[in-house]
Amino acid sequence: MTTAAYQGEPGSNSATAALALYPEVGELPCTSFEQALDAVTLGDADIAVIPVDNSAAGRVADVHHLLPESGLFIVAEYFLPISFDLMGVPGATLDQVQCVRSHVHALGQFRKVLREGGWRTLVCDDTAGAAREVAELGDPRHAALAPPAAAGLYGLQVLRAGVEDDPDNTTRFVVLSRDAVLVPHSKEPTMTSLFFSVRNIPSALYKALGGFASSGVNLTKIESYQMGAGFNPCRFYVEIEGHPNEESVALALHELRFFSTEVRILGVYHAHPRRQKN
């Protein structure tokens, strides 16, 4: 049986994504993203299911710093529609709520309902963990913003359902494995993820990316981040539409390598159907 590591507790969105991708999966809940990635590296899990960005709150902090150092490879992506309920202990009412608990990334997706309620917030390690904490407290003054499945798991009562600010709220997850499994070149829509660091010369980034423009390759994401202390050159994370074996992508990557000190393919995988809808 495949074992999937994820950050969070049973009932979290990461757990939901893992079970949607692999219904017969064995779960390995982890307290942090780093622990989930290490579980795959050390062989305690076969894959890690990790959120990378959310349509409302943006990229998930720390993930892009961890991916290049993990030595793992992206083998799939998954778009999960996000729905959260406000839940409290049985018998509680909205009027009694004074404090709402959830993960920091989740709290940023529910500013409207939090502002309307006038509640103070408390950051937890995980959304489902927030539900567990509320259940353990047994205090009607405390509520949790958590996925619907968490209410049943922890015996809570839904005080208000579907409280997300954006009804199209979606989180994108990637699946990481120890082995690079590059999908074959075909007519199927394909994504390629990679990291690169440019040479320390004038206009290096402009020149490095020029090959994608001249070859007609679409960049769907580019992010920069600093690695280590001091003022080291930035590393860039890029996602493109296409397969490295396509002539246009191969030409773009050739030009990228000429102006870079490092280019590393992190994954070549099928594009999720959600991309076609967008």
CA distance 121 to 143: 10
230: which 2 tokens?
């001091």
Looking at every residue in the chain, the average pLDDT score rounds to 90
Q: What is the mean pLDDT of residues 63-68?
A: 75
pLDDT of 229 higher than 60: no
Three-class SS state of 45? coil
The DSSP code for 223 is E
Structural domains of the chain, with CATH: 3-80+170-177 (3.40.190.10), 85-160 (3.40.190.10), 190-277 (3.30.70.260)
Three-class SS state of 35? helix
State the CB neighbour count (10 A cutoff) for residue 61.
Answer: 11
Lowest mean pLDDT among 1-10, 116-125, 134-143, 161-170: 161-170
The distance from CA 118 to its chain's CA centroid, rounded to whole angstroms, is 29
Q: Which residue has the tokens 């070549």?
A: 268
Q: Which residue has the tokens 């829509």?
A: 189
Element (H, E) at 134: helix 127-137
> Could you report the per-residue pLDDT of 114-141, keeping only the tens digit for each?
898 999 999 998 889 999 999 999 999 9
Is the Cβ–Cβ distance between 77 and 272 less than 8 Å? yes
> Could you report the per-residue pLDDT of 81-93, keeping only the tens digit for each?
988 999 999 999 9
CA distance 240 to 38: 27
pLDDT of 160 higher than 90: yes
Q: Which residue has the tokens 């076969």?
A: 46
> Could you report the per-residue pLDDT of 22-31, keeping only the tens digit for each?
998 899 999 8
State the CB neighbour count (10 A cutoff) for residue 168.
Answer: 9
> Could you report the per-residue pLDDT of 203-215, keeping only the tens digit for each?
889 999 999 999 9
Q: What is the DSSP string of 167-204?
A: TT-EEEEEEEESS--PPPPSSS-EEEEEEEEE-SSTTH
The phi and psi torsions of 185 (rounded to 5 degrees) equal -70, 125
pLDDT of 103 higher than 80: yes
Catalytically active residues, by annotation: 171, 173
Residue 142 pLDDT: 97
Q: Which of 192, 179, 191, 146 is nearest to 48 (CA)?
A: 179
Global confidence as pTM: 0.86
